[in-house]
Each structure stands twice: as C-alpha cells, then as structure tokens.
Amino acid sequence: MERKFWERTGPIIEAAMRVHSVLGPGLLESTYETCLAHELRKRGLAVRVQVPVPLVYDGIELEVAYRLDLLVDDEIIVEVKGVTQLHPVHEAQLLTYLRLSHRRVGLLLNFHSLHLRNGIKRMVNGWEHGARPLTIGVSSTDTTSAIRR
C-alpha cells in the first residue's frame, strides 16, 4: 500500500484508541461512531457520518440504503463495529463499500475488543502490486475487482 495511506490512517487509529480508552468496550456502535467523529474533528480531520452509497446495476441507481459509518477527508472509510469478534463478513462489507464508493483504503474498528489494537483492520481495494493481500481472509482477486458505473 502506498505510504501515504499508512500515514493517513495513523491519526484515525490514534483517535479510535483514545475513544476506546475513555469509553471501554460494551457500548452501542452509534456511540463509538459519534465519539470517534468528534475526536477526529478535534484533530482537524474532515468527517462525514452515515454517508449514503448508491448501488448502480445495469444502468439503474438503486437506493438500497448502504451507508458508510464515517468518511474521513473524503478518502478513508471507517466501519465501526461493536461485536464479540470480527468475521470475514465484516471484512467483505468494508471491501464492498470501498468498491461501490471507488475508494481505496478503509479501516474496520471493533470497539468491543478488550484491547482495541486487536480489533483494527486496515483494508485496501485495488491492491495491484503483486504482493500478498493486506488482510487475513481476503484473496487478491477479491481486492482487485471493482464495480463499474
């Protein structure tokens, strides 16, 4: 992944760690989402919350109510979870959002982890440099495909 994306996700992860250290695990996802958005804005980042993502199929835009939890600086998707453990379906959800929104980098943050560092996944759409995939359980063919409008 390009170095700038690693650098861009660092402040988001730091803000998430701050929220988690103050609130701890066990609250609603919406609580973490709201607090994380606030923390990111305090740090000077542009944040949009619950951003609609259209789905285009066969030339028709479908209003299927997909929403990004957070969109940071109009380029990084943050998917907030509050589950016992992350599963491949959560990774697939974020990869789908990346493809549908034509964005490259996303963070999957599980605030129900006892230690947030164990509940963080960086994910990349369109990894094309021949290296191994950057997330566990996601094949390189999954991350290089894209949905065209």
Has residue 84 been placed in a domain? yes
66 pLDDT above the threshold of 90: no
42 pLDDT above the threshold of 70: yes
Count of structural domains, the chain: 1
> Which strands form 120-124's sheet, in the order they lie side by side?
47-57, 60-72, 76-81, 105-110, 120-124
Has residue 149 been placed in a domain? no
Domain span holding position 102: 3-144
Has residue 111 been placed in a domain? yes
Other C-beta atoms closer than 10 Å to the C-beta of 121 total 20
103 pLDDT above the threshold of 80: yes
Instruction: Report the distance separating Cα 110 and Cα 121, nearest Å.
Output: 9
Has residue 97 been placed in a domain? yes
Instruction: Report the distance separating Cα 146 and Cα 101, nearest Å.
Output: 10
Has residue 136 been placed in a domain? yes
